[in-house]
């Protein structure tokens, strides 16, 4: 498996991984319409291109045998860093792809001298919350609210100190 910086030619594959992940991970607490609209909004070509081109963000992809099987998106500002997404195609889970992506994103953020790394996970996404806990992140008491399509969901905030 190779990890590398995403390029504009990766957009379709990133969108496919996001949609497959959302369809598998969120069906019990989001509507099919919210998943479809959310993926199209959060992973539109224009939005992904902007993130790939930003100087204060990293979009990394995991590639196996020429196929993108996962991606992560991290950003930083001053001494604050955020892992905004870690998604692995459901057919490639349990093989260390997500861990490698997260470790690379965290390393990238710490190289930028952030004091701590934050990650937000939908409160009802048990596997996502367990993923961050198992990688040394600690859950904060605060909860955020995020919008997917026209629906609002609670998110847990996870932090990892340097």
Look over the chain and give the mean of its residue pLDDT values, rounded to a whole number. 90
Burial class (CB in 10 A: 0-12, 13-18, 19+), 136: exposed
Residue 148 is part of a domain; what is its CATH number? 3.40.630.30
80 Ramachandran zone, left/alpha/beta (phi>0; psi -120 to 50)? beta
Residue 35 has pLDDT above 70, yes or no: no
Per residue in 62-100, pLDDT (tens digit) is 999 999 999 999 999 999 999 999 999 999 999 999 999
Whole-model pTM: value is: 0.90
Distance CA 155, CA 93 (A): 22
The domain total for the chain is 1
Residue 27 has pLDDT above 80, yes or no: no
Distance CA 153, CA 156 (A): 10
Residue 29 has pLDDT above 80, yes or no: no
Domain that holds residue 49: 2-161
């Amino acid at each position: 498996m190779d990890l590398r910086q995403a390029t504009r030619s990766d957009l379709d594959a990133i969108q496919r991984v996001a949609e497959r992940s959302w369809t598998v991970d969120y069906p019990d607490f989001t509507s099919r319409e919210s998943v479809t609209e959310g993926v199209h909004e959060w992973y539109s070509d224009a939005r992904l291109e902007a993130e790939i081109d930003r100087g204060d963000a990293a979009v990394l992809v995991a590639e196996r045998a020429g196929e993108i099987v996962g991606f992560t998106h991290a950003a930083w500002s001053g001494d604050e860093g955020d892992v905004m997404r870690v998604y692995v195609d459901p057919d490639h889970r349990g093989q260390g792809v997500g861990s490698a992506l997260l470790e690379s994103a965290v390393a990238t953020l710490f190289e930028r001298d952030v004091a701590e790394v934050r990650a937000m996970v939908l409160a009802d996404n048990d596997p996502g919350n367990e993923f961050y806990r198992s990688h040394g992140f600690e859950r904060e008491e605060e909860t955020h609210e995020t919008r997917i399509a026209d629906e609002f969901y609670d998110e847990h905030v996870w932090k990892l100190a340097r």
